[in-house]
Structures are given as C-alpha cells and as structure tokens.
A and B are shown apart, each in its own frame.
Chain A
Amino acid sequence: MDDWRLIDMRIEDASTQMAIDEAIAYARVSERNPNTIRLYRWNPSAVSVGYFQSILNEVDIDACKKFGFDIIRRITGGGAVFHDYNGEITYSLIAPDDDPKIPRDIVSSYKLICGCLIDGLKELGVESEFKPINDIIAGGRKISGNAQTRRYGVILQHGTVLVDCDVNKIFSVLKVSGVKISDKAIKSAEERVTSIRKYLGKDVSFEEGRNALIKGFENRLNIQLNPGELTDYEKTLVTQFKKKYQSNEWVYQR
C-alpha cells in the first residue's frame, strides 16, 4: 500500500486554494513532494470559472461583489462552479502522470478518481454514478463536478462534492446559458442538482463528509493517507501563484 499525503480541510480564500493546488503540481518538477490528496473549503464562498470560459457570460460579477464572494479562474477547463462555504467540500488529487495507479487516458482517469468519490458517497448512503465526461450524479441529479489538467508532468484533478445546495444562491451568481433567470429556470435547475443532505433528507456534517471521502480515496486507490503539511518550497510557490490568481489579467483574460 502506498503512502500519500493528506492536506486536510484547509479553509482559505479562492486565490490561496488555487495557488496551493498549482504549487503542489509545480513543485514536482524539482522536488520529490509526495502524491497528495487535499480536502478543502472556500472562505469566503467563491465562484470559479473554467480556463476557457467567458467570465462575463458565466458570472454575475455585481452579485458576487454584493455578497462578498471571490471570483477566480481555474487552470483547469470545465464549467463555472459556486463554491459555497456552507455547502461543499472540494478535493484535489496531485500525482505524477506516469503513476501506475493513474490511467494515461484522461477520461479513464476521471472515471477512476470519480470512483473514489462515489465510494465515499456510498459510505454515507448516497448511491451515485459516474456520468462522463466529468460529473457524478445521484438519483439522476448532479452531486459532483470535476476538472483536471496535465502539466508539469503531473495530473491535477480537482472537484466538488455538494453537501448542501442553495439553488437560489447558485443562480444569483451564475448566469444560466441561454435561459433567463426566472422561477421556471430555477425550478428546472433544482431538478438537476442535488447534495448529500438533500439526497439523504437528513443533516450530514462536514466532518462525516470528510471522513467518507478519505475512505473512498484510500480504498479505491489502495493508499494510506497521512496528514501532512506543505513543504517550504511549496509554500514559496503558493505566494508566487497567488499573485497570478489575484490578478485581473488572469481572472478576466477571457
């Protein structure tokens, strides 16, 4: 069984979270930092857009400012996500892209890593399944979205597991493509999204969610997760990458 590092449930703002993910990936170029799973939450809540997305078409910037939410662009493709401090756990996985556990084929690697989340959700009693390309659904509704990049010789996949979902809040900050925000739009969106609490009809704590996800990663990947910290080099990189993620040049590039 391989030992991987767990960076456990850090609560940080958007630029720090994205900088940590990229720093761990980048550090691998010049140091043997361990394969890593992170679990984290965003404070303040934030909206992230995919690398290729048009931010002005995806995000209601004024609404985010009004609520005090961060706005950030990811280095991964995929769609816009509302990271609700009170409603989701984000994970990331960073490992060399030639690691024997990780399929070289991108869609297969989504399936494997999403399998960890599916196993974790099952621990809680949520029956879910992988929906290619990069989603997990439970009861026909989306409960997790995922995105990955391959760079610096590593695979970096991050994604979100909904613990609770406030659909009104989601659609006050995200613009729905081609559909006017109306009661009707929200109702249909409500039918497309679910969360652990909504699915189970009971309160589930972040601690329970965290524990279940850790089990899912350990069992599916046959690894032992050992709590750890960032290396000094990674911390230096975080400071550097944060500047990029905070810059308008990066966030509003498209």
Chain B
Amino acid sequence: MKRIEYKVPDGKLVAAEAEAINGVLTKIKITGDFFMHPESTIKDLEDTLKGKQVAKLEKIINNFFDKSNIQLIGVSATDFLHVIKLSLADSS
C-alpha cells in the first residue's frame, strides 16, 4: 500500500493510503496538513469508507460531508476522492 500525496491548488497537502480487493475498499488512511473541524471526524470518514465499493466512493464521500456539520479548510470532498483514487490506481 503506497502513500500518494496530492497538493491542493491554493490549499493544503492531502495524502491517501488505500487498498481495494475485488472492488471493495479494504484499507484507507488519510493524512495531511489540511484542517477539518471537528478533527475527530477523519476517523469517522475512514470507518465509513472501509468495506464500501470503490465505484460508490464518490457518492458516499459527498453524502458524508453533506449530512454532517463538518468544516473543511484547504481541502474539499472532491480532493479526498481524488487522492484516494490516485492511491488505488497506483496499487492496482
């Protein structure tokens, strides 16, 4: 599982270590120097994504940030999806 970094234009650095087996996300760790309030939400995001179909990640990530009272600074839901996909592409 390789860590892939992505620098958000005019934003922060976000990195993902992701692994999928048979189209299902089995491992995911998101790191970086971005801001997310409340901070503990990052664990909830990772737990939400684990075990889900890769094809549905976009919808799941968007739902996650739509429904909850989370503030992102220097990174967006789209950036998370982007870097996770990069990591999956690299490890497949």
Chain A residues at the B interface, C-beta cutoff of 8 Å:
50-54, 57, 75-80, 106-107, 133-134, 147-151, 177-178, 254
**Which of A52, A133, A134, A148 meets B31, CB within 8 Å?**
A52
Q: What 10 new A-B contacts, CB under 8 Å, besides A52-B39, A77-B34?
A: A51-B39, A52-B31, A54-B31, A75-B39, A76-B35, A76-B39, A78-B33, A133-B74, A150-B37, A178-B5
Instruction: Tally inter-chain residue pairs, CB-CB below 8 A.
Output: 60
Q: Verify if B38 is at the interface (C-beta below 8 Å from A).
A: yes
Least Cβ distance of A139 to chain B in Å?
21
Residues of A within 8 A of B5 (CB): 177-178
Judge whether A77 and B35 touch: CB under 8 Å.
yes
B contact residues, total (Cβ < 8 Å): 21
Distance, CA A75 to CA B13, complexed state (A): 18
Residues of A within 8 A of B3 (CB): 54, 57
Chain B positions 9-52 with a Cβ under 8 Å from a chain A Cβ: 11-13, 15, 29-39, 42
**Which of A53, A148, A178 meets B33, CB within 8 Å?**
A53
Least Cβ distance of A114 to chain B in Å?
14
Q: Verify if B71 is at the interface (C-beta below 8 Å from A).
A: yes
Chain B residue, CB-CB nearest to A75: B39
Chain B positions 50-88 with a Cβ under 8 Å from a chain A Cβ: 71, 73-74
Q: Kindly list the 7 A-B residue pairs having the minimum CB-CB distance in the complex, ordered from nearest.
A: A79-B33, A77-B35, A54-B31, A51-B39, A50-B33, A133-B74, A78-B33
Distance, CA A113 to CA B35, complexed state (A): 17
Judge whether B73 and A254 touch: CB under 8 Å.
no
Judge whether A107 and B73 touch: CB under 8 Å.
yes
Q: List 26 A-B contacts (CB under 8 A).
A: A50-B33, A51-B42, A52-B34, A52-B36, A52-B39, A53-B33, A54-B3, A54-B15, A54-B31, A57-B15, A75-B39, A76-B39, A77-B33, A77-B35, A77-B73, A80-B33, A106-B73, A133-B11, A133-B35, A133-B73, A147-B35, A149-B39, A150-B38, A177-B5, A254-B29, A254-B31
Least Cβ distance of B75 to chain A in Å?
9
Distance, CA A148 to CA B39, complexed state (A): 11
Judge whether B73 and A52 touch: CB under 8 Å.
no
Judge whether B13 and A149 touch: CB under 8 Å.
no
**Which of B11, B13, B42 meets A177, CB within 8 Å?**
B13
Residues of A within 8 A of B39 (CB): 51-52, 75-77, 149, 151
Residues of A within 8 A of B71 (CB): 106
Residues of B within 8 A of A106 (CB): 35, 37, 71, 73
